[in-house]
Amino acid sequence: MITKNTIKQIASLRQQKFRKELGLFVVEGRKMTEELLHSDFSTMGLYATEAFLTDHPAFTEAEVVTEVQMQQMSGQDTPPGILAVVKIPEQNELKTSSSLVLALDGIANPGNMGTLIRTAEWFGIHDMVCSMDCVELWNPKTVQATMGSLFRMKVWKADLATYLQKAKAECKAVYGALLEGEDLFQMQSKPEGILVIGSESHGIRAEVLPCITHPVTIPRVGGSPTESLNAAVAGAILMAEMTK
């Protein structure tokens, strides 16, 4: 039977401070939990309500909790009825294998981060390198927005400028999403290398710009006054075109 202390600890994982301190994060929902249980991530606890298990009897390993207990643990206004506590994996040596690597510079919105991870997997990009100030991967909104892709992607946090400087020195192509650059839709060759997407507010920062070898832009049609695209939307368009 779940204890009050366990419920309190799980509830505390809504805050980054405690996720970092305990080395744990939370996954909620049927699909996300299924994806988790088929991954290499270590599940430290799995909890479900009787109502959920009645509709989804396959989750036999889940510990039964009351609706009130699930409400106390869940970070969602309407808990989906199943919740897992997961160990944050240790970061391995940065060693990418995808022909095209996605690099994120200062992405601050957890929804955008999660969507970019999910979109990258859709287009066959399995390696991502994030600047140190990108939003935390284990933020509940980030985790939820990935819809399970997080469990299959290789994502590193690193000093992005240093990583890109090394890549450039090794003659790797570094594509940067900028307002001025080569028309994305006019590119002739299938790109290989690294695609850099900047933050929602400031784009690619000054110290990263010298690392860009191939500036690319998504052309604007007509006289739209819109200054820029949402980072996740821009990333999706770029990845779709650059991997086709």
Q: Pick from 36, 59, 87: which residue ends a domain?
A: 87
Residue 92: the pLDDT is: 87
> What integer is the mean pLDDT of 68-75?
95
Quick one: average pLDDT of 88-117?
93
**pLDDT one-digit tens code per residue, 125-174:** 999 999 999 999 999 999 999 999 999 999 999 999 999 999 999 999 99
Residue 184's pLDDT is what?
A: 92
> Residue 99: which of 121, 131, 127, 130 has the closest Cα?
127
pTM summary value: 0.90
Residue 88: closest CA among 160, 190, 16? 16
217 in any annotated domain:
yes
Range of the domain at 29: 4-87
Number of folded domains that form the chain: 2
Q: Which residue has the higher pLDDT, 184 or 220?
A: 184
139 and 18 within one domain: no
Residues 6+ apart with CB under 8 A from 234: 177, 197, 218, 228
Look at the chain and count its residues: 244
Helix (H, G, I), strand (E, B) or coil at 53: helix
> Does any domain span residue 93?
no
The domain boundary, picked from 54, 87, 120, lies at: 87
